[in-house]
Every structure is written in structure tokens, then in C-alpha cells.
Structure 1
């Protein structure tokens, strides 16, 4: 007997079988153009998604299709091969996507400032309760009725551009691998707010999208004292175009999403967004978003530092049942 054969026998007898010998591949039981039925081997949902869906980041498709049962070895599961319901609208109700809105991070824990510890606690809650944090850009396909989203999808956004975003929130987001959109008003960049280098570093991480929140953070729906109609229109145009051009200069790509200062908008503001190629406009109206929500008046729920975890949990509405 060769030494290699003897070694394998010894390992088997001693219970030290190499992982290659313990590997049990998943077995396809049935298949058509819409579904695969298989018995799970030594594979997790990411490897199954990579093999059968061509993209491991779509692991949630497999998990959602087999809820509430966890995916484990020996279990028979189904893998959907096609998009089943991109709008999430069903007879009994419809899917909604909450967009959470943060501002500052620090030790004061006041209305507009969340402590780093509380922020980490909230991100851990999302992880432990099977919420899927998705990039804001994924809402585009959902709103067009083209892209299916995870059943418990959540979007994270942070407004204004305070430096605490980079110092306190960004490390936590990297730790959990959660994408987020940071909306900055351009007058604040390098002028008390985030520095250009910090913005660039966050963008390079692949997790953070930097988008405009106006030029000066003035309310775009209110005409200032002594401001003529024409002057007001010119100001609105600048509040949208100037931050766009500044972000193109700093980051090399044109923004597509816009968060309204104070969450306020009107027909003129929306018209200017469209003229500048913006595809989404975000308010701070507390509500989750269905596939039929108007893209230029998306709802967001503000997360306040003086509220408890119960308030945070209530903001995570991912399904709305219809009354019988």
C-alpha cells in the first residue's frame, strides 16, 4: 500500500478525515426553466447562488424563497431561476422599503445626534433579524417594476455631510458591510463638514455613494424676502446644479439622487431635478416605499438619537397588509 493511501486510511479511522473527503455536493432533484429543486449538501446560500444564479450577492433570493426554514445540509429547497414578483404586490398586501435617515453621530444622544454605540446596536439588530441593507440605486429597478428586492430590504442614508459620518458611522458600516448613501450640501464640504479626502475614501470603499443635498441647505420651496419669481427660479437651479458639478469634479461621476433640504419639494424643484438628470428625490416624510411610490417624493424615516430601540424597530416596515 502506498504511503498516501495509508495516510488516508489512518485519517478516516481516526476521525480526522480531510475536508475534501467530507464534502457532500448538493443534488438536483428536479429542474425546469423556472425552478430548481435540490437537496442541500455542504454549501451555504452564497455558494448556491453563485453556482445556480451566477451571482453570490443574490443569496437572499434562495433564502426568501424557502422561508421560514433555514437553509441547511440535507434539506430540500427550491431555487427560483426567474424574477417572480418584482413589484412585491400580492393579493393580501404589498412590499414596502424603509429608507432610514441619519444626520450626526457623537456622544450627546440628542434629537439629531445618534451615539456610535446606539448606531452599532441598530446595525446589529438589522443583521440579527435578517434585514437586507441594499444600496439606494437598487430602488430604481424596483420602482420601474423590473427588479425584485429582498423581502426585508432596508436603505440607509445620512444627510448634510458632518465629519462624524466618516469618523463614527463609516467604520461601523464597513464592519457590517452595509451600503449607505451620504447626501452632502456642497457649501459644507471642506468648510466645517466632510473633507474632500474623506468623501473620496468613503466612495472608494464601494459601500458609500455620495449624492447632493443642495448647495447651501436652504429650503427650496420658500421664496426669500424680497426675492422675485425669476430670482427664486435661479436660486433653485443653482441649489441643484452647483453641488452636482462639484461632486462630478471631486468624484468623477454625475450624481443621480437628491435629498431635499428639510425634506420639502414642489413642482419647480422636481422639474429642475429632471432637467439635471436626477432620477430620485428624497423627502423626510415618515413612511416606507412601495413600488408605486413617486420616484421624486420618496419617503424617509428620520432616526433620532433621543428615541429608544422600540422606535427604531417601528421604522422597519417592509410589508403592508390590505384590510379584508
Structure 2
């Protein structure tokens, strides 16, 4: 099986990981099925070692507990990544805040270890930089966890090049996570993009939402496709004129997919893998059939023509949030 080096962690992982957030909240919550989700995670581990991505904020601890259930007896098949720094202020409305204080980070790490049922977290991200806490303080608390043996490696989520460099000077940044897909290409900007910083500094770049929150699969062609409470129902890119314009991106992906006898989702994932050997995307799914299709995307080899067509796809209309 092809593997990729996960930054400076020393871990070799499957080229496509598994984002677990949607199993707990955010997307189509009426379809949440913990038993099925545990089976999806365990099936992903069959292709291990695989990068599993969760966070204490996802479902206010529910997602970590879910991942912990799936990991029982399978710890060596996974590289476990979780996050701290976002706090759930109201679970029902998904109202979030930030807390990057050292005290909160230490408490969060202990809670995550307990919910995950592991002795050490392989990759621990600062989920967001807290504007009220100096990054040096948050990063210093995370580095202390490494020295204490509770965490192996540290990462950052949704940061600038300058923030990554500041943290890296104090303790190695093993990975940076941010949104990247054919409709969110900002991390690839040669001047400001964080993916290039990762490549230059030996860190992995871990794209979340590499399928455009499902949009690039071609399954969502109307804002009415989402149930009440689904994050995407109010997302600017999924509504009205923006959605109609963004379907032009899907049309390009589907055209390339037809050449390969593949799905649009597989081509969208294959495109992210061509952005560099340091890139390990983490698409999420609650269904076994989509997990299998996503994993198979690593076998697709896009031609120069394919890449030219995909790179020329129009930019997305509407903000990310």
C-alpha cells in the first residue's frame, strides 16, 4: 500500500485519512448512527495506519468518545489526531468560543486522553489561535504536554504563515490543517499559502473538507437538499446564485471523472493528492460505500490534461463561512 510521511512525526500513513467530525455534528445530524460510524472507522483502520481526525469540540466530546470506541483493540492501526482551543458554549446551537489558555489546554488534553481511551495523542492541534492569549503561551503549554509524554507531536489549524513560523521557532510544527479543495485553493497561494510553508519546513499539510463539504461530489444541486440545522443550509456557497455559479466547478470535475470511469469525489480527492507529497487529506463520511470510494481515489493518476482542466476551474462564489 502506498503511504505518505506525516510531516516530522515519523509516521507513515495511508495517503487519505478520515475526518470524523460529521459523524457527530454539523452535517445531517438526523442521520447520526454511532454503531455505523464505529464500523466505518474500523473499516478505515483495515487500510492502516490511517490518520483519524477528531476534536474535543465536535459534539462537545461525543466525537472523541466515538473514535475511542472504534480504537479499542486497534490502537496500532491509527495515527490519532485531535484538537484543543475551541470550546462549545451551546451544543444545541453550535455556538463556539475560543480558549487557548495553558490551564484550558492542560485540562482538555487530559479529557481527550480519557475519551479516546489512549495513553498518548499522536498529533495534537491548536484548533484555533485565541486572540486573547499570546500564541507563545498556548504553544508553550502544548510543548509541555509533549515533554510530559501525553502528546507525541503538535499541529496548528487555520493559521497564517507568520503564526506557523512563530510556533515553529519554539517547538516543531509537525502538521498544519486547513481547508483545501477545488473550491478553496487559498492554501496554495505561492506567496501567502500555508501549504508551501509546510513543504518548506518539513510539516504535513492536512486538508479538511477536500470535497467542498460534499459539494464537489455533485450530489447537492439545490439549497433544499439540506435538513434544518445542517451547517450547509446557511453556508453562503450553498445558496441561491452562489450555488448555481459553483456548479460550474462540479461540471469540470465530472468531466474529468468521466474520462477515468471514476466519481467526481474521487477526482476531487486525487487532485488534492497532486498538491504535494506532504499533503494528507481527511475527507469525512458516515457511510462504508463512500469510505471505500474515497480510499480508492489514491489509485487515480490524473494526466497533464486533467490537471490543466481542473486547475482552470472557476473560483468559488461565496465565503467559506
Q: What band does the TM-score fall into relative to the shorter chain?
A: 0.3 to 0.5
Provide the TM-score with structure 2 as the length reference.
Answer: 0.39
